[in-house]
Amino acid sequence: MGQPLIIRREGHVEHVVLNRPDVRNAFNPALIEALRVWAVSAAASTDARAAVLSGAGKAFCAGGDLAAMSATVDASRDENLEDAARMAAMFEALDHLPIPLVGRVHGAALGGGLGLASVCDIVVAADDAVFGFTEVKLGIVPSVISPYALAKIGRSAARELFLTGARFDAARAREIGLVHAVVPEERLDETVNRYVSEILSAGPGAVRQAKALIRRVAGRPAGEVSVFTAETLADRRVSREGQEGMRAFLEKRQASWVVR
């Protein structure tokens, strides 16, 4: 049995590959812990500027490991709670990653696999990939992933898709905001790389701050956040990075942080 998660660093980019291809990268306790530990360490890295999450083999991720989950019938309620809490902690750590997380989805993203897509900032999907919040078909519920999935697709799509467990295609996933680009599978890497290049040509601190800003501002009335948003702009434009970015534009040169 190999490592459940393969992590590779290329320049400023962390590449994270779910590596349980025989079970379509279903996540068991070892993979859940490896993902959480990676998210915590990537969050602490000062020179990481983007991360790409993908799956080895035929599919991105088939969600929770159904064999492991069904075996929990023999565990106590406390043990079951701890197990579910570890999964929740993994999603929370990924969702709190301060750098952009780009999801590369091929084959299938089902159940918790769609939860993983939901905590990505940008998702690129193969046009033949299949999606679904299939939990109710299995007699379970998309519970731990619900905050992240709901934040992406809203109540209306959730009421349809959580309640039916129906599978849907990449075009629909894009329509409801789970996916940002749909391309033939052979163009997945190129499209992911284009997003990563865009990120690497932006100010590293500005990108992190933009991500934090979304978390802080989303769902709140403008009046409630106006002091915060004004302060953020005021501080940013006099920051070293803000000055470098604006001067580079005016001097018709590349900013110092651009990676080509």
- 224 catalytic per annotation: no
17-52 burial by CB neighbour count: b if 16+ within 10 A, else e? bbbbeebbbbbeeebbbbbbebbeebeeeeebbbbb
**3-state secondary structure at position 125:** strand
Residue 84 near residue 49, CB atoms below 8 Å: no
| Beta carbon nearer to ligand COA, 110 or 202 | 110
Determine which one of 10, 33, 92, 135 is catalytic: 135
- Shortest distance (Å) from residue 59 CB to ligand COA: 5
Q: Which residues lie near ligand COA (CB under 6 A)? A: 23-24, 26, 58-59, 62-67, 108, 110-112, 134-135
Provide φ and ψ at 49, rounded to 5°: -120, -10
- Shortest distance (Å) from residue 78 CB to ligand COA: 22
* Radius of gyration of the chain measured on its C-alpha atoms: 19
| Beta carbon nearer to ligand COA, 43 or 166 | 166
* Helix (H) / strand (E) containing 130: strand 130-132
**3-state secondary structure at position 53:** strand
- Shortest distance (Å) from residue 144 CB to ligand COA: 10
| Beta carbon nearer to ligand COA, 50 or 130 | 130
- Shortest distance (Å) from residue 233 CB to ligand COA: 42
Active site residues: 135
